[in-house]
Amino acid sequence: MLQPTIPSDVDRHSATVRSGRVWLRVRRWACVGLGLLVALPNFGCHRYHSVPETIGQRTDCVDAVLCQIGAPAAAVVATVDHVPAPVTLRSTEQLESSPMREISLRDALSMALENHSVLRDLGAGVLRVPEQLQSEYSESLQRLDPQESVEAALSAFDAQFYAFGKWQNNDRRFNNRFFGGGANAFKQDTHDYVFQLSKRTPTGAQFSVRSVTDYDANNATGNLTDSAWQTQLHAEARQPLLQGGGLQFNRIAGPAAVPGVYNGVLIAKVNSEITSAKFEQGVRDYVSNVINAYWDLYFAYRDADAKRDAMLRSEQTWKSYEAQKSSNRQSGAAEALAREQYYRFRSEYQDAVAGKPSMRTQNGNSSTGGAFAGVGGVQAAERRLRLILGLPISDGTLLRPSDDPSIASIEFDWQSISSEAVLLRSELQQQRLKIKQREMELLAAKNFLMPSLDFVTLYRLRGLDKNLGGSDSAISDLTSFDLQEYEASLELKLPVGFRQGHLAVRHAKLQVARERAVLAEQQRQIIHDLTAMVAECDRAFAQVETNRQRYLAASDALAALETSQQAGMPINFDQLLDAQRRVSESQSRYYAALVEYTIATKNVHLEKGTLLRTSDVLLIAERRERPVD
């Protein structure tokens, strides 16, 4: 009978030497593992050196951020470019003496698109809803989204490297030799190392190559050697046969998807296209607002001109009757009425020059592209144009439009423009993409009505010896292919009733029905808006002709009265004052009709989805990301 052995000093020394050798081997393997970890990033598309920033002990950056969070607003120093004080026109003569800068509509659009880091609007959306604003970063943000981008969906199929190491020392006493391997005192050193490389395929299969190596040194009496290395090489494949299998499901939902959450390559691609369509819509609205602001400023100048002419005429009339009053040839009532009208026109001219903070033409103002508000004010309109163009709000000059509205009659072919609207509007393109997305999600949801049945196969090579490497070692034993194993299995998982799967299918069907209903209603709304804009275009053109004739008639009437007055013929004083008002009102109304017609024409192109094309704006996909500090 074997007696329990108590290790002697020599045994302990031998065990120490063996442990030292093993520790040297561990260090070698650890160095190899670290080398692999360092080298792995070099095999990818990108390499990042962020170890000092992410796992270092320096907290300078986060401490600075926390100080800013806890500090009062006055302590946070913001860098703001120097902006000169605004020029306020306190006298009517300052408008004529201010330096002017002529600008065409084409130049305005060019400036706007050159300064479009954020697609501005005229409703202060950058303060109210900054998260909803489109910018030059929108498409790049979607393309680089770590959760929902195409690259994120493809990352599920990237090869995954896994490494595991464990070291253990056991020193135990057992009351029964059977439990101690034939000895009551059991000493053991173990090492375990696992290296695995796995990859998923578009069919849902997962292939793995795995290396398993373990070292065991103990004093069990039945050992072939006092220490031994065992190494294994596994080649494993797992293929879903029903749920989770197939190209269609994995391209839509991605591997390891759950009901209702689908983030495959095709879904990510649709999301990318929707983002591009939204960006195109944002650029369209931006261009529309630039055009609106440009013609608002044009009208403001023309309205100010009309008010100035009326003020000068009324001033001349007032001075004339004031002279007659001093010579007692005319009653004081006429002079007072002429003076009142002069100050009335002067007040209107002051407002026409400075303007007031009231609603002006912008997108969503009674229509998609905005309805002309007809509000004057040179300074206010000029500041708005500078704001949307990205220019300094004040630089000592005044922008002045150099283009004039077109008065040519435009007739649209209804069948053509209605077809273009349904085909080209970015809102409808986005909705059609959403329908395709919901239809793909429905196909993926039906996959969850099947049980989970996986076929698993495993091939294994083994090697065992006292040493890990060398002529007589575990690795040489493994490469001899003497110890080979193979196993295959089927794994079935079947939720009784498929309650979640049925919910996913019904939910996906309702999503498809909803998106289709929204598309139909959007088409109705767009056809309605296009009809309204075509009718508005015809109405505005008729108003241009009518108000031009009205302006000419009022001018002729005033000229006749002024000619009679200069000839010394008696005239009706009330008619003279009324004629001056009529000329001023008809002149402003004529230019307002011109701008209304121009805005209506622009809105027809917006409604039928051709505004960017008619404005000579071309969107080109840019795949190079701007550097971010």
Give percent above pLDDT 70 in the chain.
82
The per-residue pLDDT for 552 is: 94
Do the strands 398-401 and 100-103 form a parallel or antiparallel pair, or are they unpaired? parallel
Q: What is the pLDDT of residues 69-108, one digit of tens each?
A: 766 554 444 555 566 666 666 556 666 777 888 999 999 9
Which pLDDT band holds residue 370 (cuts at 50, 70, 90)? confident
Instruction: Check residue 332 and give its pLDDT.
Output: 73
- 420: pLDDT strictly greater than 70: yes
Q: How far apart, in whole angstroms, are the C-alpha atoms of residue 530 and residue 413?
A: 12
More confident residue, 502 or 23: 502
pLDDT tops 50 at residue 374? yes
Cα 315 to Cα 346: distance, rounded to the nearest angstrom: 9
Rounded Cα distance, 425 and 608, in Å? 6
pLDDT at 433: 95
Query: Does residue 9 register a pLDDT over 70?
Result: no
- Read off the amino acid at residue 26: V
Measured distance CA(269)–CA(256) in Å, rounded: 19
Q: Pick from 409, 406, 411: which is nearest to 298 by CA?
A: 406
Confidence category of residue 529, pLDDT binned at 50, 70, 90: very high
Question: What pLDDT is attached to residue 42?
Answer: 43
Joined tokens for residue 36: 């692999």
Q: How much is the pLDDT for 326?
A: 65
The pLDDT-based confidence of 600 (bands split at 50, 70, 90) is very high
Q: Which residues contact 354 (CB under 8 A, 6 or more apart)?
A: 88, 89, 377, 378, 379, 380
3-state helix, strand, coil in the chain (%, to 5): 55, 15, 30
Give the chain's radius of gyration (CA, Å).
Answer: 41
Q: Please name the helix (run of DSSP H) or strand (run of DSSP E) that holds residue 196, with its range, or none.
A: strand 185-200
| Residue 186, SS3 per DSSP | strand
Q: What is the mean pLDDT of residues 280-301?
A: 91
Tens of pLDDT, residue by residue over 229-270, are: 999 999 999 999 999 999 999 999 998 889 989 989 999 999
Residue with the larger pLDDT of the pair 221 and 279: 279
Answer yes or no: is pLDDT of 568 > 60: yes
What would the pLDDT profile of 441-476 be if each residue is shown by its tens digit? 999 999 999 999 999 999 999 999 988 888 888 898
DSSP-assigned letters across all residues of 137-167? THHHHHHT-TTTSHHHHHHTTS-EEEEEEEE
pLDDT of 227 over the 50 cut:
yes
Burial of 15 (0-12, 13-18, 19+ CB in 10 A): middle
Take residue 51 and report the two structure tokens written for it: 């170890």
Residue with the larger pLDDT of the pair 176 and 626: 176
**Residue with structure tokens 């209702």?**
260
Q: Which two tokens stand for residue 41?
A: 């990033």
Query: What's the pLDDT at 33?
Result: 46
Percent of the chain beyond pLDDT 90? Answer: 43
At residue 565, the pLDDT reads: 80
H helices present in 189-331, as ranges = 247-252, 265-326
Residue 625 has pLDDT above 50, yes or no: no
Query: What residues pair up with 206 in beta bridges, in sequence order?
Result: 200, 238
**pLDDT at residue 590 is higher than 90:** yes
Rounded Cα gap, residues 581 and 579, in angstroms: 5
Mean pLDDT of the chain: 82
Residue 477 neighbours by CB distance under 10 Å? 19
pLDDT of the residue at 316: 87
Least confident interval from 124-138, 379-393, 498-512:
124-138
pLDDT band at 27 (very low <50, low <70, confident <90, very high): very low
What 3-state class would DSSP assign to 98? coil
The 10s digit of each residue's pLDDT in 387-407 is 889 888 888 788 999 999 988
- Between residues 430 and 145, the one the model is more confident about: 430
Least-confidence region, from 220-224, 485-489, 519-523, 590-594? 220-224
| From 116-130, 230-244, 421-435, the region with the lowest mean pLDDT | 116-130
Q: How confident is the model at residue 211 (pLDDT cuts 50, 70, 90)?
A: very high
CA quadruple 97, 103, 108, 110: dihedral, nearest 10: -130
